[in-house]
């Protein structure tokens, strides 16, 4: 009887601990705004700056340190071209930080699609926690190719002859 009471009490304590423990899927931080400012046009092999503003709030008791990181990913090559972080600090209840990234544009005239991955990290405790958002950016590198128009004099003469013929026929009918 005493053994059954101990097992029942242990199960009850285990269930209470499971129900009251913070969920791994619960979000530690909520972002209210993530925006990126960048040049929409640049020259081949030009250094560009991408400024990403991250604002939000985290469940912060002042004991753990928070930081934000932005990675620029070249969608054409699927490669990270720049990564930088900035401190938020120990009090992350309401924060707004700017993360500066520098990247070099491709060497060809191309529409360059980028993705900006943003992470908010809590250090200290058992595990760091991450919140990831993705923004898209597009930079036109170099000039867009202008379609060439080749003038064909034979075609112009044929179109002119047909037009004159139609005008003559119209004037005879009137």
* Phi, psi for 112 (deg, rounded to 5): -105, 105
Asked if the model's pLDDT at residue 3 lies above 80, the reply is no
Half-sphere exposure of 106 (CA within 13 A, CB side): 19
Q: What tens digit of pLDDT does each residue of 50-70 get?
A: 999 999 998 888 888 899 999
Asked if the model's pLDDT at residue 10 lies above 90, the reply is no
Mean pLDDT of the chain: 79
Half-sphere exposure of 45 (CA within 13 A, CB side): 1
The whole-model pTM stands at 0.65
**How far apart are alpha carbons 88 and 84 in whole angstroms?**
13
């Amino acid at each position: 009887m005493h053994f059954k009471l101990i097992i029942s009490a242990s199960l009850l304590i285990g269930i209470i601990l499971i129900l009251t423990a913070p969920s791994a899927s619960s979000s530690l931080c909520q972002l209210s705004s993530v925006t990126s400012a960048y040049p929409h046009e640049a020259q081949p092999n030009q250094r560009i700056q991408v400024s990403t503003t991250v604002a939000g709030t985290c469940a912060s008791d002042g004991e753990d340190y928070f930081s934000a990181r932005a990675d620029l990913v070249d969608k054409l090559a699927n490669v990270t071209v720049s990564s930088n972080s900035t401190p938020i600090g120990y009090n992350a209840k309401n924060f707004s930080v700017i993360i500066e990234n520098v990247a070099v544009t491709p060497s060809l005239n191309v529409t360059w699609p980028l993705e900006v991955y943003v992470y908010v990290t809590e250090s200290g405790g058992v595990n760091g926690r991450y919140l990831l958002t993705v923004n898209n950016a597009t930079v036109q590198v170099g000039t867009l190719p202008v379609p060439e128009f080749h003038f064909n004099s034979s075609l112009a003469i044929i179109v002119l002859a047909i037009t004159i013929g139609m005008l003559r026929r119209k004037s005879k009918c009137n």
